[in-house]
Amino acid sequence: MKKVIIFLSAGILAMAIVSSCTKTSQPATPYSNLYGKWKIVQEAFDDTNTGKLDSNQVSNLAANDIESIQFNKDSTGTHYITFNGTKEDYNFKWTLIDNYSEIQMVTYGGDTLVSRIESLYSSTLTLMNYTNPQLSWYILKKQ
């Protein structure tokens, strides 16, 4: 009987040691989800001025238009645009503001764009641009 109690105690002690040494995964922060390159796959414009993203306003980007945004860990990034065969890259610095609900991108030329993060997952991102006179949304997929 003593051996059973000793083995049982040793087993419980071993489980306690192993579980205390196991790393717990930290929940993803908005910063960690943003890192990487995102391709803009759809866009939408609030033609009806309702302030809501309606499914009939969403359209895919044209086949010859390619846009992607790179968010680097050092808070820099690049907006890559190919429009009708012409390529342009815009470098910027980014930061999350308003309790992580908005992303502010400032180009090295001084232009500022603030977009609301409508949704952010490990593979999809939806941004709402409310600095234009008309609301617009951009749906991005992680590359």
**The domain spanning residue 70 has which CATH number?**
2.40.128.280
Contact 118, 128 (CB under 8 A): yes
* Count of structural domains, the chain: 1
Query: In this structure, is residue 19 part of a structural domain?
Result: no
In a domain, 119, yes or no: yes
pLDDT value at 22 more than 70 = no
Question: Nearest-CA neighbor of 34 among 117, 137, 131?
Answer: 117
Residue 46 lies in a domain: yes
Q: What is the pLDDT of residues 37-72, one digit of tens each?
A: 999 999 998 888 888 888 888 999 888 889 999 999
**pLDDT classification of 29: cutoffs 50, 70, 90:** low
Of 100, 105, 39, which Cα lies nearest the Cα of 69?
39
Residue 25 reports pLDDT greater than 60: no
Residue 63 amino acid letter: A
Q: Is residue 15 part of a domain?
A: no
Q: Answer yes or no: is 6 within a domain.
A: no
Q: Which are the contacts of 28, defined by CB distance < 8 A and separation ≥ 6?
A: 122
The pLDDT-based confidence of 132 (bands split at 50, 70, 90) is low
Residue 100 lies in a domain: yes
43 assigned to some structural domain: yes
Domain encompassing residue 136? 34-142
- Global pTM reads 0.74
The answer to whether residue 11 sits within a structural domain is: no
| SS3 at position 131 | coil
Q: Specify the pLDDT at position 77.
A: 97
> Does position 15 have pLDDT exceeding 50, yes or no?
no
Q: For the segment 66-114, what is each residue's pLDDT rounded down to a tens digit? A: 999 999 999 999 999 998 889 999 999 999 999 889 999 999 989 999 9
Rounded CA gap, 100 and 36, in Å? Answer: 17
Q: Quick one: pLDDT at residue 137? A: 93
Rounded CA-CA distance 129/37 in Å is: 19
Alpha-carbon distance of 15 to 33, in angstroms, equals 33
Chain position carrying tokens 């390619």: 66
Could you tell me how many residues make up the chain? 143
Provide the pLDDT for residue 14: 37
Q: What percentage of the chain has pLDDT greater than the value 70? A: 77
User: 129-134: long-range contacts at Cβ-Cβ below 8 A with a sequence spacing of 24 or more?
Assistant: 134/45, 134/46, 134/47, 134/49
